[in-house]
Structure 1
Amino acid sequence: MKRVMKELTGGNAILSVLAVVASFIVGGILIAVSSESVQTTIGYVTARPSDFFTALWNSVFGAYDAMFRGAIFNYKATSFVQMIKPITETLAYATPITMAGLGLAVAFRSGLFNIGATGQIIFGAMFAGWVGIFVDLPFYLHFPLAVLAGIIGGGLFGALVGLLKATTGANEVIVTIMLNYIAGMLLSFLLKTPILQAPGSINPVSPPVRDTSKYWFFLGDQFRVHGGLIAMLLAVVFTWWLLNRSTLGFRFRALGHNPSAAKVAGINIGLTYVLVMGISGALSGLAGTSQVLGSEKFLTLGVAASFGFDAITVALLGRSNPWGVLVAGLLFGGLRAGAVTMQANQGVPIDIVLVVQSLIVLFIAAPPLVRAMFRIKESKKEVAK
């Protein structure tokens, strides 16, 4: 497991970029293959090759153009608001993905394979949601208290994994998988009881959080981007400082490089496990607050969506570097925002985007494959390793 982690989180940044490029290339091939016009024109390609190549161009370029208009800038819109709305949707999606990705990056850099971001997001959302719904305070107290509750909720749920590993030697991969299910089932139960369920509702949904606990929508109600974006950027800076400038971060990195050497150096391995997973969970819990106090405004069964699993790819694509995670989070936010427009305008199945995301993971996990595709030789430093 340690060796796999080093392979996934090491390497050059260029390989991450090329992994994305390769994924889009393969995605374009799949788009072309699934296009009815391409399938039709290939039947008489020798007679009229121009029809085939036109259909091929229109299917692939049209799909990625629609994705661009849904994720970055809609140059075909008739109003300025509609033109810039795509980039705000990208930022809205990227906010929780990046926060959770930062949490996983902390764990990965410390040699722990945390795949429990989904459960930690849920716990953060439940803690923040309960405070946001049932506590009555002025904004300057209510909002920070709700956010802090979410951070604590995710942190405690993550620290539990570290505690189990430190005291029993439990494998964090198995534990976090099981805790994801536990968190989801617990949320489902609570949303069907008076503890969290909206009064008079038969659906598993909570009452809306109070206005005094919400992130502010600084661009207006017509956009989904909110103050969680600023919290996300602050989290990037904090994570960079923690991992690269703090004494605690040095201990985390030492644990990730060689636990035995870290123990000999006087680092308390058990306590460090708990701290790593606690901070990792806290960042995912912060992602939960951006959902329940921002985008969603109430608790539902889908509050974590697929952000927890997207965060794994984001952390790997960003090479567990906070700034790389930020870029990867924006990319995945754009993929999610653009997929809807691509499907609506071009009829391209939204599953294509999921295939592209999966291919990114595949190419990141197989650097020799990327080098072979783009004819890149290993550097002397990499060969020495």
Structure 2
Amino acid sequence: MSSRLINIIIPIIAVFLGILVGTIIMIFSGYSPIEGYSALWNGIFGEIYYVGETIRQVTPYILAGLAVAFAFRTGLFNIGVEGQLIVGWLAAVWVGVSFELPKIIHLPLAILAAAVAGALWGFIPGLLKAKFKVHEVIVTIMMNYVALHVTNAIIRTYLSESSDRTENVAETASLASPFFESLTDYSRMHWGIFIAIVCAFIMWFFLEKTTKGYELRAVGFNQHASQYAGMNVGNNIILSMVISGAFAGLAGAMEGLGTFGYASIKGGFTGVGFDGIAVALLGGNAAIGVILAALLFGGLKIGALNMPLEAGVPNELVDIIIALIIFFVASSYMIRWFIERLRNKKGVK
């Protein structure tokens, strides 16, 4: 069995084990797993509205997962995707409410503003890592809180009249689509799903088919060897965090220009950036894997809303299943060890 096949099998086994243990927990909690998972399925595919909402939820998950995966692939651990998403959200909405431009200019400008804001928020931990060897995990975690409170202050002080939200973005800066509304029974699905898929292709092409992508991966694999080979390790670290932050900022644009159409004061984190870590892990840090993992997580999030209504199963049980899947993915070395043992036994026979 090739290592590539093993890398594909491990996330599948992790998902299966998570669902299996979740089934056991449901049984011991007095709920029917058949009814529970049937309600989950119906909450994803039962109506065209739910399908639209699932795709809407998947959109920022793909971009947040790409942000985390890109950093992983280049040897960095970007825990600041949540903060980069929030500043991207604010930047996109600010452009959306502050300018009157034709849609062909206004919408791309708002999306670009989100990418730039996220990139700038990623630049800071990248610079500190490259120049002063400050660990990016600490800096990105702290900058999540800075992003949350700074954006709240800006919304309250400058973008609203002492209220908890901005105006809706102009029609010319909105990702919402009457076509998708009519197609999905007025769900909040928007054009952002195509942007997310294009970004996944860009990440794959950049990392796998370009010289600079190879250089970034080489630096992530071994900084000392890369430096000995003449690569500028510091600049590559900064570039990696900037690109990762840009993906996260785009995820914020999907929420600000598509799902909600405004920015509001937040009492806490959105959770999308942190879920992006799980999406990247489950997707094996590969572009196509991130898309598939985002589909799973988006489906679980939306389908879970139907479980209390149809089967009486609390949402917390779905959170437990998601946590179990993450646990088994994070413990993939145990699954890999078990597969290797089975393979070695077959080889001996």
TM-score by structure 2 length?
0.92
SS of the residue 2:341 aligns to: coil
Corresponding residue for residue 155 of structure 1: 119
Deviation at 1:369, TM superposition (A): 3.9
Corresponding residue for residue 290 of structure 2: 325
The residue type equivalent to 1:63 in the other structure is G
Q: Does 1:307 align with 2:309?
A: no
The residue type equivalent to 2:286 in the other structure is N
Cα deviation 1:298-326 (Å, max 9, x = unaligned): 00234962100110000011110000000
- Once the two structures are superposed, the pairs formed by residues 261-276 of structure 1 within 5 Å of their partners are 261-276=225-240
Cα deviation 1:111-156 (Å, max 9, x = unaligned): 1011111000011111111000111111111111000001101011
SS of the residue 1:252 aligns to: helix
SS of the residue 1:12 aligns to: helix
Deviation at 1:10, TM superposition (A): 11
Corresponding residue for residue 169 of structure 1: 133
Q: 1:306 to 1:10 in 2, by over 3 A?
A: farther
The residue type equivalent to 2:159 in the other structure is L
Corresponding residue for residue 13 of structure 1: 8
Deviation at 1:367, TM superposition (A): 2.3
Matched-pair contact (CA < 8 Å) for 2:91–2:117: yes
- Once the two structures are superposed, the pairs formed by residues 239-254 of structure 1 within 5 Å of their partners are 239-254=203-218
Corresponding residue for residue 17 of structure 2: 22
Corresponding residue for residue 171 of structure 2: 211
Distance in 2 (alpha carbons) for counterparts of 1:104 and 1:165: 17
Residue identity (%): 38
Question: Paired residue for 2:34, among 61, 70, 74?
Answer: 61
Corresponding residue for residue 70 of structure 1: 43
Distance in 2 (alpha carbons) for counterparts of 1:149 and 1:92: 21
Distance in 2 (alpha carbons) for counterparts of 1:268 and 1:379: 41
Bigger shift: residues 84-93 or 232-241 = 84-93
Corresponding residue for residue 196 of structure 1: 159
Query: Highest Rg: 1 or 2?
Result: 1
The residue type equivalent to 2:24 in the other structure is I
The residue type equivalent to 1:68 in the other structure is W
Q: 1:375 to 1:316 in 2, by over 3 A?
A: closer
Corresponding residue for residue 311 of structure 2: 346
Corresponding residue for residue 330 of structure 2: 365
Deviation at 1:375, TM superposition (A): 6.8
Aligned residues: 336
Runs (4 or more) in structure 1 with deviation over 4 Å come to none
Instruction: Name structure 1 gaps, 5 residues minimum.
Output: 1-8, 39-58, 75-82, 381-385
SS of the residue 2:159 aligns to: coil
Q: Which has the higher helix share?
A: 2
Bigger shift: residues 268-277 or 26-35 = 26-35
Q: Does 1:143 align with 2:104?
A: no
Corresponding residue for residue 44 of structure 1: none
Matched-pair contact (CA < 8 Å) for 1:126–1:187: yes
| CA RMSD after TM alignment | 1.9
Question: Paired residue for 1:227, among 188, 191, 196?
Answer: 191
Matched-pair contact (CA < 8 Å) for 1:121–1:304: no
- Once the two structures are superposed, the pairs formed by residues 31-50 of structure 1 within 5 Å of their partners are 31-35=26-30
SS of the residue 2:111 aligns to: helix
Deviation at 1:203, TM superposition (A): 3.7
SS of the residue 2:194 aligns to: helix
